[in-house]
Structure 1
């Protein structure tokens, strides 16, 4: 028996991802951020001076996706990239003053997005955790 897309988990996830991106756009556009830039900004605000590799692993982005994104953000003056002082094969990332200011402005975004969902905080946490388990079962993080 063939399932209709509306009965498929993959379609529910796919269409929900599109809805999430659409809901974030009006929250991020006034800040001059795209959704991927927002994720990088948030990650750097939470963990200053990670390597590009560590950031890519955390965000599950390949270097061919992450590198141009980081270059654009560096060009905008939001972050710096520099060689690690102990291992020059690694590149470390840090927010600039402008990046830290933008991160403070963007700190209201999660609350605004949560309000758009109409879900209770516990429901959001449960959904996040279930999706993380699913993600990790389907594609474990690279070591």
Structure 2
């Protein structure tokens, strides 16, 4: 029972290290890591419902709602009830939110360069982490 042999320890330390690489890059854009993930989902699928965002970024509604409110308050997105289903809230990017994409589009390359992994290792790691993420709980 060694600490270094525990998967949870390796994942936690790797997660902190990667988050530390992202933090200063995202701070320049005025984003946190969870906000960045939401913006990525919106850049890929906007407009999209809150339920779809929740599934895409794996955040529960209670965590996602205040995050969306903050992004809306700074002008990156708008939320509105769908006309065809008032129970559903749709989120769309503003022009400011669309423009933010250009400001952050170099981040993935900067992160890749900062990681001590080859392109193939990074790809394999993402596949393994995705597999872990799909594991039954």
Alignment of 1:63-142 (within 5 A): 63-139=61-137
Tell me whether 1:8 sits opposite 2:6 in the alignment.
yes
Partner of 1:56: 54
Q: Distance in 1 between matches of 2:104 and 2:15?
A: 20
Q: CA deviation at 1:14?
A: 0.8
Q: Distance in 2 between matches of 1:131 and 1:138?
A: 14
Q: CA deviation at 1:59?
A: 0.7
Q: Distance in 1 between matches of 2:80 and 2:102?
A: 23
Q: Distance in 2 between matches of 1:4 and 1:80?
A: 49
* Runs of 5+ unmatched residues, structure 2: none
Q: Distance in 2 between matches of 1:48 and 1:90?
A: 15
TM-score by length of 1: 0.92
Q: Distance in 2 between matches of 1:44 and 1:22?
A: 24
Q: CA deviation at 1:138?
A: 3.8
What SS is found at the alignment partner of 2:84? coil
| Distance verdict in 2 for CA 1:138–1:20, change over 3 Å | farther
Partner of 1:24: 22
Q: Distance in 1 between matches of 2:8 and 2:83?
A: 44
Number of aligned residue pairs: give it. Answer: 137
TM superposition outliers: structure 1 runs of 4+ over 4 Å: none
